[in-house]
Structure 1
Amino acid sequence: MGIAISALSKLGLPGMDSLSTDQVYKKYFGSKNIKNYKDFHRAFVDLCSDFNLVMPGKHFTIQATEIEKFYEKWPKGTADPATESKRKELLAKFMKEQVEEYKTSSRAMMLTGVTAPPAAILIKKSGEKVPQLKMLRIDLIPNVVFVPAFTVLSLIGVRILKVTGTTRATP
């Protein structure tokens, strides 16, 4: 459905872009009584969480410090139509400028995916001779189960290392 709306707005039909912006704004910010940064941050995180759930395959991220800077610009006060339209415009502009696609290290994932199955077989073969691995009894696990499980766990490990590395790098 989003593709249809974006395609129609690219064709020049008026109001299609603002229709979706109005709906998003009303759902996450318009109906909620935002009094402080904590309320605003909760509404914004809900918006980002739902947005990431809807988008297949792609995930988007934003720096927490940018959200705080944006809240300082956020017009406070009553919910009159002029303030609401200004808030809507600011939110749309902010989302276009600051929200970025979260990119994983595809190279690390590919290298792990290619090297994990041979490594699993080598570990299983060495498990027959190395006393430290022999006590784990890896040789009892069939290759059909061990190799895919080892590969998936390796890919999960790479993903966790990437996520912890990016969260530590952010201020």
Structure 2
Amino acid sequence: MGIAISVLGKLGLLGVDSLSTDQVYKKYFGPKNIMKYEDFHLAFVDLCSDFNLVMPGKHFTIQATEIQKFFEKWPKASADPGTESERKALLVEFMKEQVKEYKTSSRAMMLTGVTAPPAAILIKKAGKKVPPLKMLHIDLIPNVVFVPTVTVLFLIGVRILNVTRAAP
């Protein structure tokens, strides 16, 4: 359903695109009386968390300092309905400008995926001769289990290194 709405929005039906942003704004910022930065930050984090859960494979990130700068410009809630539309427009513009797609180093993942299986085989062969590895009895684990397990662990390690390096 979301794909159909976005496609219709791209085709020039502004009401459809506006309908989806209205629903998102009402869900995360509408019923809440946000007067403090902490409340706004929690609502914004909920929005980003849900957005990352919905988007398969893609994840988005933003600097916390940018959120605080935006909150200072964001108009406070009032009874005037024009304020709500102004707040929504500012939020949409902010999301378009500041929220960036989080990209992992696909080259590092690719190199790890290619080199991990031969490295696992070498580790297993070394396990027969090197005394510290000999104590682990790696030679008792079948290759069908050992090689994919080591490969996945290496890929997880590369992912963790990328995430910790990218975090400000």
Range into which the TM-score falls when normalised by the shorter chain? over 0.9
The answer on whether the counterparts of 2:33 and 2:77 sit within 8 Å (CA) in structure 1 is: no
Please give the secondary structure, in 1, of the residue aligned with 2:29: helix
- What is residue 75 of structure 2 aligned with on the other side? 75
- What is residue 157 of structure 1 aligned with on the other side? 157
TM-score normalised to the size of structure 2?
Answer: 0.97
- Structure 1: give runs of 5+ residues left out of the alignment: none
- What is residue 131 of structure 2 aligned with on the other side? 131
Q: Any residues of structure 2 matched to 1:11-160 within 5 Å, and which?
A: 11-160=11-160
Alignment length (residue pairs):
168
Please give the secondary structure, in 2, of the residue aligned with 1:6: helix
By how many angstroms is 1:128 displaced? 0.2
By how many angstroms is 1:166 displaced? 1.1
1:73-113 per-residue CA deviation (whole Å, 9 max, x = no partner) reads 11014242111000000001001111110000000000000
Distance of 1:90 and 1:2 partners within structure 2? 22
Distance of 1:40 and 1:65 partners within structure 2? 13
Distance of 2:58 and 2:89 partners within structure 1? 24
Distance of 1:15 and 1:108 partners within structure 2? 43
Please give the secondary structure, in 2, of the residue aligned with 1:60: strand
Please give the secondary structure, in 2, of the residue aligned with 1:104: coil
Q: 1:143 to 1:84 in 2, by over 3 A?
A: same
Please give the secondary structure, in 2, of the residue aligned with 1:30: coil
Distance of 1:130 and 1:83 partners within structure 2? 71
TM-score normalised to the size of structure 1?
Answer: 0.95
- C-alpha RMSD over aligned residues: 0.9
Distance of 1:32 and 1:79 partners within structure 2? 14
The answer on whether the counterparts of 2:61 and 2:99 sit within 8 Å (CA) in structure 1 is: yes
Q: 1:79 to 1:113 in 2, by over 3 A?
A: farther
The answer on whether the counterparts of 2:77 and 2:84 sit within 8 Å (CA) in structure 1 is: no
